[in-house]
Amino acid sequence: MTPDVSLSLAELSIAELNRDASWHNLISDFIFNSKYDALSHPLLHLAVDLVIFSVVILIALTVYALIKKVVFRIVTKIAQKSKNTWDDLLTESRLFTWLSMLLPAVILWKSSPLVFRQEAYMTIVSTILEVFIILMALFSVNSLLNMGEKIYCRFEVSRQVPVKSFLQVIKIILAISGLIFIISAVLGKSPVLIFSGLGAMTAILMLIFKDSILGLVAGIQLSANRMVARGDWIEMPKFGADGEVLEVALTTVKVRNWDKTITTLPTYALISDSFKNWRGMSSSGVRRIKRGISIDMNSVKFLDDELKNSLKSIRLLEDYIEQKDTDILAWNQKQELQPEDTLNARALTNLGSFRAYMNAYLKDHPKISKQETLMVRQLAPTPTGITLEIYAFSLDNAWVNFEALQSDIFDHLLAILEAFELKVFQNPTGANFEALATHH
């Protein structure tokens, strides 16, 4: 018996309502319960399904617009008025972009089994939407991790315990898990089966992610032992690194050298090879000065009365010379020696007096630490003369200030050297050769 074309929804029997309880089937039966076979063609079914799905898409787009234009703007205004700074990162990130696309996709995904009568089309649409949802979820979690890293880097502890390498491991795990869920959605298989098959691929995965695994282990050791952190000054000549650590990542460490170039070295190299970390110097507040002046040995001599009286006028040497004169006189008298007997008697030298002056000058300097080691030592004679070396610590360890202080100290010492009738050693060149030839 052929049903009447003018059959309406109100005239459907109770049995038909029980058989087709869904609103979709009610509408479809109303359209396709016709005496014309052409109206029951599968393509017409698909066309009706697409029309209904278009309505669902319109609803999803409305939800997207509400989230994007209303919710996002409200959250942005609240963040701008808030005194906190971490919520500014929330609005600057793309988290709301991914979330605004995630909810409409979920609506479409949940609606697709109700819209499409044919299982093939329903499976295709559901799979595409499921893959899209997985990607949006991954992007959302990735944005949260990036935002958390930026917030963490604002705290001082981030310099001691970097977390970038650990976050990268989490991102890798999430990416692999997301890929597995996508494959399971496309194949229509349970992800448990794919996860169970990873055991057989362990060797291949270890080969592929060798650097990541080594970097993870190295990152744990570096963080646990606090060997290197962001902002440290390190030297690693093997890789040409000499500068400030910019980033300690999973597989690489970026160092900005002092010439503004960037050196990238493997993270595990900081464990397997040696490097110098200047953090101790930076945190101590002082910086070592270790530099010397080479004295011409031919200018070394005993002090005569004229030179001695001249040096006594130097405030820093006055007490030293008087004390030394008293000690030397007592010793010579005990040995029954005359000061003129330079072969046997003790006497002051210009080199020793200059060394005493250098020591007194450093102790009197306001920018030299008095708590750290401070001395002026005489090194063994070499073909380049006798070196008087300063070993002291500057109270200012900033590079520019430190170099300026060191230069000022040696400028002064070189300028006053003539008062001790000492000469700096330097290899004769140019005009000096002419002076030597004239002298001889």
Fold category of 288-439 in CATH:
Alpha-Beta Plaits (3.30.70)
- Rounded distance between C-alpha atoms, residue 50 and residue 240, angstroms: 63
pLDDT value of residue 202: 66
Task: Kindly report, residue by residue over 22-57, the tens digit of the pLDDT.
Answer: 545 555 554 444 444 444 556 666 677 777 778 878
**What are the start-end ranges of the E strands in 268-378?**
276-277, 287-295, 375-378
The pair of three-digit structure tokens given for residue 328, joined into one six-digit string: 């030397």
SS3 293: strand
SS3 377: strand
Q: CB 192: neighbour CB atoms within 10 A? A: 10
**For residue 67, which amino acid is it?**
I
429, pLDDT greater than 70: no
User: What percent of the chain stands above pLDDT 70?
Assistant: 77
pLDDT value of residue 198: 65
**The CATH number of the domain covering residues in 163-284:** 2.30.30.60
The whole model's pTM is what? 0.55
- For residues 150-179, give the mean pLDDT: 77
Confidence category of residue 12, pLDDT binned at 50, 70, 90: very low
Task: Kindly report, residue by residue over 315-332, the tens digit of the pLDDT.
Answer: 999 889 989 888 888 888
Confidence category of residue 372, pLDDT binned at 50, 70, 90: very high
SS3 395: coil
Per the CB < 8 A criterion, the answer to whether 241 and 257 are in contact is: yes
Residue 285 phi, psi (nearest 5) = 85, 0
293, pLDDT greater than 90: yes
The region of weakest confidence among 73-87, 91-105, 296-310 is 73-87
**Which one is predicted more confidently, 161 or 149?**
149
Confidence category of residue 299, pLDDT binned at 50, 70, 90: very high
pLDDT value of residue 47: 73
209, pLDDT greater than 80: no
**DSSP class per residue in 223-249:** HHHT---TT-EEEEGGGTEEEEEEEE-
Per the CB < 8 A criterion, the answer to whether 232 and 244 are in contact is: yes
Q: Which residues of 85-106 are buried (b: 16+ CB within 10 A; e: fewer)?
A: eebebbeebebbbbbbbbebbb
Residue that the structure tokens 């929330």 belong to? 90
**Which one is predicted more confidently, 74 or 298?**
298
Residue that the structure tokens 């960037």 belong to? 262
For the chain, domain boundaries: 41-154, 163-284, 288-439
pLDDT value of residue 40: 52
What value does the mean pLDDT of the chain take?
79
409, pLDDT greater than 90: yes
Per the CB < 8 A criterion, the answer to whether 200 and 194 are in contact is: no
pLDDT value of residue 6: 37
Task: Kindly report, residue by residue over 95-105, the tens digit of the pLDDT.
Answer: 777 888 888 88
pLDDT value of residue 148: 82
- Rounded distance between C-alpha atoms, residue 235 and residue 17, angstroms: 81
